[in-house]
Amino acid sequence: MYDWNDLRVFLAVARNGSTLAASKVLKINQTTVARRLEALEDALSLKLFERGQNGSRLTEAGEDLVAEAEKVERAAEAFASRAAGHQRGLAGAIRVTASESVAHIALIPALSEFRRLYPEVTIELVMSDTTLSLEDGEADVALRGGAALPDSDHLVARKLNDFAFGIYCSRAYAETHGLPTRPEHLKDHVLIGPDGPLMVQMPGMAWMFEQAPEAEVSCRANTITSLSSAIKAGLGIGPMVTVTADQDPDLIRCMLPDPVPTGSLWLVTRAELRNVPRIRAFIDFVTPYVHTLARDMEAKGRAVRKSQEALVATLAARKAEPELS
Query: What would the pLDDT profile of 219-272 be if each residue is shown by its tens digit?
Result: 988 888 899 999 999 999 999 999 999 999 999 999 999 888 888 899 999 999
Quick check: helix, strand or coil at residue 146? strand
Domain count, the chain: 3
User: Is a pLDDT exceeding 70 seen at residue 304?
Assistant: yes
> What H or E segment, with its residue span, contains residue 190?
strand 190-194
Q: Which residue among 88, 106, 132 closes a domain? A: 88
The reported pLDDT for the residue numbered 238 is: 93
Q: Is 112 exposed, middle or buried (0-12, 13-18, 19+ CB in 10 A)?
A: exposed
Q: Is 128 helix (H, G, I), strand (E, B) or coil?
A: coil
pLDDT on residue 74: 80
Q: Same domain, yes or no, for 273 and 285?
A: yes
- Among candidate residues 31, 57, 88, the one where a domain is terminated: 88
Assess contact for 168 and 245: CB atoms under 8 A: yes
Question: Do 120 and 232 sit in the same domain of this protein?
Answer: no
Residue 265 pairs in a beta bridge with 145, 161
Distances (CA, A) of 322 to 181, 188, 227, 318: 14, 6, 20, 11
pLDDT in tens, 37-83: 999 999 899 999 998 888 888 999 999 998 888 888 887 776 766 66
What CATH number is given to the structural domain containing 200?
A: 3.40.190.290
User: Is 186 found in the same domain as 256?
Assistant: yes
Q: Is residue 323 part of a domain?
A: no
Can you tell me the mean pLDDT for 7-13? 90
Q: Is 159 in contact with 169 (CB distance < 8 Å)?
A: no
- Residue 92 pLDDT more than 90? no
**Is 279 in contact with 273 (CB distance < 8 Å)?**
yes
Last residue of a domain, one of 42, 69, 88: 88
Whether residue 157 is found in the same domain as residue 269: yes
Taking 90 as the threshold, does the pLDDT of residue 286 lie above it? yes
